[in-house]
Each structure stands twice: as structure tokens, then as C-alpha cells.
Chain A
Amino acid sequence: MTERMTMAGAINAGLRAAMERDPKVLLMGEDIGALGGVFRVTDGLHKDFGDSRVMDSPLAESGIVGTAIGMAMRDYRSVIEIQFDGFIFPAYDQITTQLAKMHYRSRGAITLPIVIRVPFAGGIGAVEHHSESPEALFAHTAGLRLVSPATPQDAYDLIQQAIACPDPVMFFEPKARYWDKGEVDIARVKAQLDQPDGEALATAEMAKARIAREGADVTLVAYGPTVRLALQAAEVAREEGTDVEVIDLRSISPLDSDTVVNSAKRTGRVVVVHEAPTAFGSGAELSARVTEQAFFHLHAPVLRVGGFHTPYPGAKFEHDYLPSLDRVLDAVDRVMAH
């Protein structure tokens, strides 16, 4: 049972399915009601579920997260939309000092099943603060889970798995991929959630990486917006005689180290590609894990391709700031040269 849809449409369909499934699921955010969100991801949901389920909130990001925490204490599952990546910082305190730690502080008495949707990353020619990749800041915080879909199928599955998860989940939506189309099997995740331990199954599966393309020479690790780029690079490299394996992490926290390390052991060469600044980023974590766990299998140092240690530049520069096909292929060439 598949339907062809865009990633934005898949998230919308996933939200609708979750809301139909559980009356305690609410959407909160700025402009998500009548407007359907600035990217129209919540399009039509306000009309069908009304003000009480699709809540246009005051323009206050910390307030949105903080009130969702209070509501979760009465078993509501809020799916929050932060309008753009760069606007998450007013809520940073609520997310890191409150949301992430409440389960630990209460020794399990309080669970906060809140999903924070963050349209993130660049490539759409936006103005300042509208193209950032802050995932490493949150991956560094214990208590949060982070996922990022790269395909409409994953967008549909992951949003429902995130909502079913009893832990807070940050859902990073690659905004440049909202309009990518793909086939979506709409039955699989429902079958999973219908199991008696559906929450646990969904949470476990949400944490698994996907081998998007098998290959023998180099492992390219990517997530969210850079998965498509990595697949393109693999195609070009193939023409040049290099067989590239592409791993779509799907989950940034936890990291599916096993899938990456096993691949590294097979290929002996790893390149990590993300849009976020390279320094202290998730690529550094992946590089460290591969080095610790597969050192004697490596033929080359693990390389990272990412953004620079600059603020995200003006849109006329982003083409050069972001990992490009050429920069990814250059890194592939460099690890192959060892």
C-alpha cells in the first residue's frame, strides 16, 4: 500500500495519522493553524482537528516548549513546530535544562513525550537565522533523542515513531528536501505501532541507520539533507571506478555506531558529510567512534565534509559554504589515495 508524496506531505500525513490514533496528540507552534505552517507542513490539520488540537501559539519559543512540558505532565503529547532552526535558541534553556532532564530528575516518575519539529539546514536561499544546523548542540545533551529523515518514507515513519516515543525527540526536517517526492508505504509503521509493545519497537527502530546504497571501497555517512548529495556522489564515483557505500544515519542520537563501524570495517575508508560546521560536530563524534572501534581496519583517516566555523553566510555564499558534490568527491579521492 504505497502512495507517492513529497517529504512535507509525508510529515503531514504522519501527523494526521498520529492525531487520529491518539486524541492526546496536539500540535503547537507559530502560524501552524489557519496558515498551515510557513512550509505548509501542517496544512489542513487545523481545519480537520480544530483549535484545541492544532494550537497557534504566542510568538514565544521558550513558552511553546515550557507549556508543552506542563501539558505532558498531564499526558498530552505535543508536537511542537519551531518555525526555523535559528529560532530554537530562545527555547534552548527549556529544552536542555528542563525537557531533557525531567525524566532523570524525577527518577522516571515523569515522562515527557514531546516532539520538537525543526525545519533545519540550508540551500533554499533564505535570510540570516533561517538555514542553520544546530543538531550537535542538542546531541550533546543527555535526555534528548534526535532524528532526521532523508526520504518521504522515513519522514512518514519517523514522525510517527517520534510521537510514539516516551522520550523527548527532536525532529530535524531538511527544509531543502521538503519537496522531494517518493513512494511511501503507509501500512508498515501502523502495523508496528499496533503491536502491544509498539512504543518500544518504534523507539528502537527510530534509532537504526539505513544502508542507502551498498558499496565496497568507501563509506559515506550522511543524514537529512546530505543523504541525497552522498548518493549523487556515489553515482559519480562509480563512473570513476570507486564503489561507495552510503549510510543514512536517520538517528543522530543515539548513533547507530554498529552499522557505521561494520561498514568501516568492510571498506576501510570513511567520509562523513553534514551541513553543520565541521568543528565539534556530529562528524567528529562519528570519526572518533570509527577510530576507536575500527582503527586496525582503516586504510585512511576518517574525513569530514561540512560547513565552516563561520556564521551561516548570506545566501549568495551558501553554495560555497555547504558541502558540494565536488567537495564530497574530493574527500572520497583523498581517502582512496591512502
Chain B
Amino acid sequence: MDAVGPLSSEGLVQLLTHTGEPVENETFSPYAAHLSADDLRAFWRDMTVLRAFDLEATSLQRQGELGLWVQSLGQEGAQIGSGHALREPDFVFPSYREHGVALTRDVDLVDVLKIFRGLQHGAWNPKDHGFHLYTLVIGSHALHATGYAMALDRDGLVASGDPDRDGAAVCYFGDGATSQGDVSEALTFASVYNAPVVFFVQNNQFAISEPATRQSKVPLADRGKGFGIPTVRVDGNDVIACHAVTQWAVRHARSGGGPVFIEAFTYRMGAHTTSDDPSRYRSKAQESYWAERDPISRLEAYLTNRGELSAEFRAEVEAEAKALCERARTAVRSWEREPLLTMFDDVYALPHATVEAERAWFERYEASFADGETAAEGKAH
């Protein structure tokens, strides 16, 4: 991979090579120093479970149980590493591929499938998890994250003197989103208001079929610089480096340093969604190159080399993944649609005459069929 511009891998922060050898980094190694073997095993477990779930959801889509699935395959390192750098006062604004971050925020992944089965647009309460709803309009949530961060600042939850109280907003989006006006506007607002927001770009190389070169001539991290925002490029398939860089960024933001822009250089190993065909726009050679840089096998090699991944632990994680997949399968097939009239709920917080009138009409309309059936049955009897 000797690409230039946004596809260049130059200048990436890396703490673990793709074969699992540790690397020292003067600036960022200290932000990973606290990680114990247990922590790293937990990262490995989360990535492994996430991948199994992701493949299960893909199968469910193929079986017609889900309308669509958006795979996170290949991006487990960026998501699990960064997600575990966050705490309760932080608030995450995901796009729609952040199942791994959702996992770190204790969102039940099975619930996420409700969105893709067409039952809900939400499926979790953002306030319960510090994890906002998925956003499908590319980049629009970068502004929500920025506004939320501005409010955190106003609420005295930045540089409060008690680091445990301080929070940051963390916004995840992809390489394509960096072309959106809303992302540029978010960077402007974040910068001029010194908002405690971390923009975490997963450069997975493609916006559906378009390579990152169609979004930018320079590494995406450079987007932050023109706005006066500190930027970091990190190896997105290195879960430890992603963790350390995010740890640094959120501490910077929480302590009043303002926004940070992180580019996690990674690769979407699957399709954009279950609707597209990546063989039309990328090569086998490229896929093989990235397969060698798999975030899970990299950490696995590191832990195995150190004798810290026992067969017993592996079996435990395998069982956990299997149980989650089974639960997903059973749940998806058992979910009933909620009562029809719930379609009219929550359009507004308070009654709105148009919605009320249409709900009432539809209720009568539906009831007219029920009456008809009853009448028909009455006649038949």
C-alpha cells in the first residue's frame, strides 16, 4: 500500500504491529500503560463477540429476517478500542455502523436489530447509555455532538476541578462524511466555542463504492488542522493504539483543551451494507493486504505470544458469542410488530390536531374491517 493522500498510511500512531509486536510511542504509550492483561483480554473478547454477532446479523439478512444489515467487519479495533476509553459522563454520537461502540456502552446488540428489521428507528434510550441513536443522514450528527459538547461546557462539566465529573461528546463518522457541509460546520462551531468534542473518523477507505480519494486529496486528519483543531492519525486496526489516542483526546477535551480530530485508518472488510457488492469496486489483492492486518488476529497474536490467551478463556468467549447469536436469531424471529396505532405515537410531545385526527380516522377504518369480519361470520353461522 504505497498510496498517497487519504489512502496513505503514513504517520499513523501504532502501539502494536500487524503481527502483534509492541511498539513504543513517546506521546501515546502512556495512555495505554494502565491496560492490564485482563483489559486486553476484554478487548479481544468484545471484538470477537462483535464479529460473531456481525456475521450472524449478515446471515439473518440473507435469510430475509432483516431488511438490511450494516457490517462493522474489520472495524472492531477502532470501535472497541475507542469505546473503552469513554466513561459515564461522555456521550457518543454514532452514525450507523458503530455496533462495537454500542457494545462498549452497554447497548444490547440484539436490540440494534430492531432497526434493521423495520420495527423502530431507535431501539434504545440514548440517555440510559450515553449513546445517541444511529444517524443515517451522513454527518448531520457531528453538529449534534458539538452542540451537546457546548452544553456540557455550559453545565460546568468541563475542567470542573473534579476530573471524574468532566465529560466529552464523541462523534463517529466515516471518510465520506468529511465531505459533508455539516461536518465542516461542526468543526467550525467546535473550534470557535472550544467545545469538548472528539471527532472520531473511521477511514474505512470507502464511501459505499467511492474510495477516500474521491473525498479528499490529503489525509483526512488534516481536515482538523485548518479549523485549528489538534489532529491525530491512528492505526485503526490497532485496538490498543485506538484506545490510547482516544484516551488522550477525551482527556484533552474534558479538561478544557477543546476539540480533537482523530482519523482511525482502517478497512471495511465487508460490503457497505448487505445491499452492495464490493467485488465491483475493489481488488482481491487489497482485501488480502487488509486481511493480514485484521484487528482481532493482531491482538490475538500479541496475547498468545505472551501466554495470556488460555484455551479456557477462548472457549468461554466462543460460548458467549454463540449464546448472543442464538439469542439474536430467536429474538428476531419472535418479534411481533407493536400495535398498529403506535405508528402515530410520539410524533409530537404534546397532542397535535392533525395526528390525532388521522389516528382516529385510521382506527375507525381498521375497526370497520373487524366489524365486517364479525358480520360475515355472523351470517355464516
Binding site for B on A (CB under 8 A): 52, 57-58, 60, 62-63, 65-74, 76, 90, 93-94, 97-98, 101-111, 142-143, 145, 165-167, 199-200, 203-204, 207, 253-257
Q: How far is the CB of A27 from chain B (nearest CB, A)?
A: 14
* In contact, A105 and B133 (Cβ under 8 angstroms): yes
* In contact, A73 and B348 (Cβ under 8 angstroms): no
Point out the residue from A66, A70, A165 that lies within 8 Å of B151, measured CB to CB.
A70
User: Chain B binding site: helix, strand, loop or mixed by DSSP?
Assistant: helix
Q: CB-CB < 8 A to A108: which residues of B?
A: 345-346, 349
Nearest first, the 6 closest Cβ-Cβ pairs linking A and B are: A70-B147, A66-B143, A67-B147, A63-B185, A74-B151, A70-B148
Contact with A along B53-96 (1 / 0, CB 8 A): 00000000000000000000000000000000000000100000
* In contact, A103 and B346 (Cβ under 8 angstroms): yes
* In contact, B346 and A253 (Cβ under 8 angstroms): no
Interface flag for B216 (CB, 8 Å): no
In angstroms, Cα B146 to Cα A63, docked, is: 9
* In contact, A93 and B122 (Cβ under 8 angstroms): no
Point out the residue from A72, A90, A98 that lies within 8 Å of B140, measured CB to CB.
A98
Given A71-B150, A109-B122, A143-B347, verify A66-B144 contact (CB < 8 Å). Answer: yes
Contact with A along B129-169 (1 / 0, CB 8 A): 00011010100111111111111101100000000000001
Q: How far is the CB of B144 from chain A (nearest CB, A)?
A: 4
In angstroms, Cα B227 to Cα A60, docked, is: 15
Q: CB-CB < 8 A to B154: which residues of A?
A: 52, 71, 74, 76
Contact with A along B328-362 (1 / 0, CB 8 A): 00000000000000000111111111110100000
* In contact, A97 and B140 (Cβ under 8 angstroms): yes
* In contact, B192 and A166 (Cβ under 8 angstroms): no
Q: How far is the CB of A177 from chain B (nearest CB, A)?
A: 26
* In contact, A109 and B354 (Cβ under 8 angstroms): no
Identify 5 residue pairs between A and B in the complex whose beta-carbon atoms are under 8 Å apart, listed by A's number: A66-B142, A66-B146, A73-B126, A74-B151, A254-B352
Q: CB-CB < 8 A to A253: which residues of B?
A: 352, 354
Since A93-B140, A102-B133 are in contact, a sample of 9 more A-B pairs with Cβ atoms closer than 8 Å, ordered by chain A residue number, is A62-B181, A63-B146, A71-B147, A110-B126, A145-B348, A167-B349, A167-B352, A253-B354, A255-B354
Binding site for A on B (CB under 8 A): 91, 120-122, 125-127, 132-133, 135, 137, 140-152, 154-155, 169, 181-182, 185-186, 188-189, 192, 345-355, 357
Point out the residue from A58, A72, A104 that lies within 8 Å of B185, measured CB to CB.
A58
* In contact, A69 and B354 (Cβ under 8 angstroms): no
* In contact, A105 and B350 (Cβ under 8 angstroms): no
Q: How far is the CB of B255 from chain A (nearest CB, A)?
A: 19
* In contact, B144 and A69 (Cβ under 8 angstroms): yes
Q: How far is the CB of B63 from chain A (nearest CB, A)?
A: 27
Q: CB-CB < 8 A to A62: which residues of B?
A: 143, 181-182, 185
In angstroms, Cα B185 to Cα A94, docked, is: 12
* In contact, A74 and B152 (Cβ under 8 angstroms): yes
Q: CB-CB < 8 A to A109: which residues of B?
A: 122, 125-127
Q: CB-CB < 8 A to A57: which residues of B?
A: 189
* In contact, B185 and A167 (Cβ under 8 angstroms): no
In angstroms, Cα B120 to Cα A72, docked, is: 22
Point out the residue from B145, B149, B348 that lies within 8 Å of A103, measured CB to CB.
B348
Given A52-B154, A62-B181, A106-B133, verify A69-B189 contact (CB < 8 Å). Answer: no
* In contact, A71 and B148 (Cβ under 8 angstroms): yes
Given A69-B147, A70-B145, A73-B148, verify A107-B350 contact (CB < 8 Å). Answer: no
Q: CB-CB < 8 A to A97: which residues of B?
A: 137, 140
Q: How far is the CB of B84 from chain A (nearest CB, A)?
A: 23
Q: How far is the CB of B173 from chain A (nearest CB, A)?
A: 13
Q: CB-CB < 8 A to A143: which residues of B?
A: 347-348
Q: How far is the CB of A30 from chain B (nearest CB, A)?
A: 13
In angstroms, Cα B368 to Cα A91, docked, is: 43
* In contact, A73 and B182 (Cβ under 8 angstroms): no
- The residue on B at minimum CB distance from A98 is B140
* In contact, B150 and A70 (Cβ under 8 angstroms): yes
* In contact, B189 and A58 (Cβ under 8 angstroms): yes
* In contact, A58 and B346 (Cβ under 8 angstroms): no
Q: How far is the CB of A249 from chain B (nearest CB, A)?
A: 12
- The residue on A at minimum CB distance from B120 is A107
In angstroms, Cα B353 to Cα A145, docked, is: 11
Q: CB-CB < 8 A to B140: which residues of A?
A: 66, 93-94, 97-98
Point out the residue from A69, A93, A203, A257 that lies within 8 Å of B350, measured CB to CB.
A203
Q: How far is the CB of A123 from chain B (nearest CB, A)?
A: 29
Q: CB-CB < 8 A to B182: which residues of A?
A: 62-63, 66, 93-94
* In contact, B353 and A254 (Cβ under 8 angstroms): yes
* In contact, A166 and B350 (Cβ under 8 angstroms): yes
* In contact, B147 and A111 (Cβ under 8 angstroms): no
* In contact, B144 and A70 (Cβ under 8 angstroms): yes
* In contact, B350 and A200 (Cβ under 8 angstroms): yes
* In contact, A63 and B186 (Cβ under 8 angstroms): yes
* In contact, A60 and B348 (Cβ under 8 angstroms): no
* In contact, A94 and B148 (Cβ under 8 angstroms): no
* In contact, A145 and B352 (Cβ under 8 angstroms): yes
Q: CB-CB < 8 A to A142: which residues of B?
A: 347, 355
* In contact, A66 and B186 (Cβ under 8 angstroms): yes
Q: How far is the CB of A212 from chain B (nearest CB, A)?
A: 20
* In contact, B122 and A67 (Cβ under 8 angstroms): no
* In contact, B169 and A98 (Cβ under 8 angstroms): no
Q: How far is the CB of A17 from chain B (nearest CB, A)?
A: 21
- The residue on B at minimum CB distance from A106 is B122
In angstroms, Cα B349 to Cα A254, docked, is: 13
In angstroms, Cα B193 to Cα A128, docked, is: 32
In angstroms, Cα B148 to Cα A105, docked, is: 18
In angstroms, Cα B151 to Cα A192, docked, is: 29
Q: CB-CB < 8 A to B186: which residues of A?
A: 63, 66-67
* In contact, A67 and B347 (Cβ under 8 angstroms): no
* In contact, A60 and B185 (Cβ under 8 angstroms): yes
Q: CB-CB < 8 A to A204: which residues of B?
A: 350-351
Q: How far is the CB of B194 from chain A (nearest CB, A)?
A: 13
* In contact, A58 and B192 (Cβ under 8 angstroms): yes
Q: CB-CB < 8 A to A90: which residues of B?
A: 181
Q: How far is the CB of A213 from chain B (nearest CB, A)?
A: 24
In angstroms, Cα B192 to Cα A94, docked, is: 21
Given A63-B143, A71-B147, A167-B348, verify A257-B353 contact (CB < 8 Å). Answer: yes
Q: CB-CB < 8 A to A165: which residues of B?
A: 350
* In contact, A104 and B147 (Cβ under 8 angstroms): no
Point out the residue from B91, B137, B349 that lies within 8 Å of A111, measured CB to CB.
B349
